[in-house]
Structure 1
Amino acid sequence: MSTTFTRYADDEISDSTIQMPQRILATSTHQYPIDVLAGRFEKYQADPSYAHDHYPWAARFVMGIPVASWARPLVWNVGQKSRFIAAEWTGSDLGSYLTNECFSSAGVGRTLAENSEILIDGQQRLHSLEEYFLDRLAVTDLQGQPKVWSEIGNGERRRFLSTIFAQSYVSSGDEEALRKTYNLCAMGVMSRTHDQRAAR
């Protein structure tokens, strides 16, 4: 075992048949403010039937984004949700949420094919944001008082909505590849229990 780090071996004596895990689907990331998510959520709330007509197979919608039937349920408690919103207020790195940008018609009315534009990773965080926007979640202010969204002035709202929450995305119609990507998303942070995995 080596105690000194070297980027490359001086002599290529390692076993070339060894291959480390690789990404399943190519991923791109954009740096968007929370305001982009808020706009989508407003659009969803104005006409939820539009989303339900397009994604009748969705298990639920989070911030107006369809969630696949094979995704784990909503499991964060109030403390976890509040801590995430507090992290947004303080400008902490929020990581990114992952969606599938691939969409195609199911050939029936306005219905899109299953897994079109789904949220693959970030459901707990986006649901926390939704709960906060709907005044179902309070976050402590600088005076130590719990405050819901509707109690906050527009200046502070603008600051919050300008916080970057990156969106990563893949584009695939292959459900098995999407399921495997979903399973890999949380492995290094908080592994999903066996019953929450999507692989068949």
Structure 2
Amino acid sequence: MGKILPRIIKSTASQTFISELVGVRVGYDQSDYPWAKKMLGKFPLPQWQRDSVWTDKQKISLIESAYYGFDLGAIVINTYDHDKKGNLIPFSDCLIDGQQRIGAMLDYIDSKFKVNGYYFNELSRQEQGSFMMRDIGLHKISCFDEAKLKMLYNHLNFSGTNHKESERA
């Protein structure tokens, strides 16, 4: 008997605009995600997500990459579903991969650091719009099994900026 391959977690790949990732989620707020550690913009973060660790230098590099038109990688989010009472089930809408990038974008839009000598709020509307309309990859998965989500998180996040052992899901 041969080896059995891991089961695929259903996902859909697409492109989206930065503005779609950093915009406001209409109709839901923190109270709809009681299982979440915190919210990052409109995305709930599971308890096992690490905290923000990027330095300003790393954040600036990402924003410069967006302006240069470089590939920003892909953000991985979960879809949503409701229970019989109409409540969102745990891990609906959660951000699996991309917390550091979305956090950097939100901080930039909130003018918390300068890029090329300017805060975001000092840019013209056209320059702000140019940033907000940059493409970024988006993978939507549909999985509500916490063990599988942790496995996916660990597969995606134990490269790049090193995690601490205590940050494993």
Answer yes or no: same fold by TM over 0.5: yes
- Aligned partner (choices 65, 73, 82) of residue 104 of structure 1: 82
Q: Once structures 1 and 2 are overlaid, which stretch shifts more, 22-31 or 73-82?
A: 22-31
After TM superposition, the score normalised by the length of structure 1 is 0.75
The answer as to 2:122 corresponding to 1:155 is: no
Structure exhibiting the larger radius of gyration computed from Cα positions: 1
Say if 1:55 and 1:106 are closer, same or farther in 2 by CA, change over 3 A.
farther
3-state SS in 1 of match to 2:21: helix
Matched residues in 2 for 1:186 and 1:153: separation?
35
Q: Once structures 1 and 2 are overlaid, which stretch shifts more, 62-71 or 115-124?
A: 62-71
Q: Residues 33-54 of structure 1, C-alpha deviation per residue, up to 9 Å, x if partnerless?
A: 112123x33x57xx8xx41121
Matched residues in 1 for 2:162 and 2:152: separation?
13
Matched residues in 1 for 2:38 and 2:31: separation?
13
Counting matched residue pairs gives 169
The answer as to 2:93 corresponding to 1:122 is: no
3-state SS in 2 of match to 1:139: coil
* Aligned equivalent of 1:71: 49
Q: Residues 71-99 of structure 1, C-alpha deviation per residue, up to 9 Å, x if partnerless?
A: 11111111111111111111110001100
Aligned-residue CA RMSD (Å): 2.3
- Aligned partner (choices 173, 181, 197) of residue 144 of structure 2: 173
Alignment of 1:1-200 (within 5 A): 17=2, 22=6, 24-38=8-22, 40-41=23-24, 43=25, 50-105=28-83, 107=85, 111-140=87-116, 146-198=117-169
Q: Once structures 1 and 2 are overlaid, which stretch shifts more, 91-100 or 29-38?
A: 29-38
Matched residues in 2 for 1:116 and 1:98: separation?
13
Q: Residues 90-119 of structure 1, C-alpha deviation per residue, up to 9 Å, x if partnerless?
A: 111000110011322384xx7422211100
Opposite residue 72 of structure 1, the aligned amino acid is R
**For the Cα contact (< 8 Å) 2:30–2:38, is it kept in 1?**
no
Matched residues in 2 for 1:176 and 1:24: separation?
14
Structure 2: which 5+ residue stretches go unaligned?
none
**For the Cα contact (< 8 Å) 2:18–2:133, is it kept in 1?**
yes
3-state SS in 1 of match to 2:111: coil
Opposite residue 132 of structure 1, the aligned amino acid is Y
After TM superposition, the score normalised by the length of structure 2 is 0.88
3-state SS in 2 of match to 1:192: coil
Q: Sequence identity, in percent?
A: 27
Structure 1: which 5+ residue stretches go unaligned?
1-15, 141-145
- Give the C-alpha shift of residue 187 in structure 1: 3.5
Matched residues in 1 for 2:167 and 2:147: separation?
15
- Give the C-alpha shift of residue 195 in structure 1: 1.4
- Give the C-alpha shift of residue 190 in structure 1: 4.1
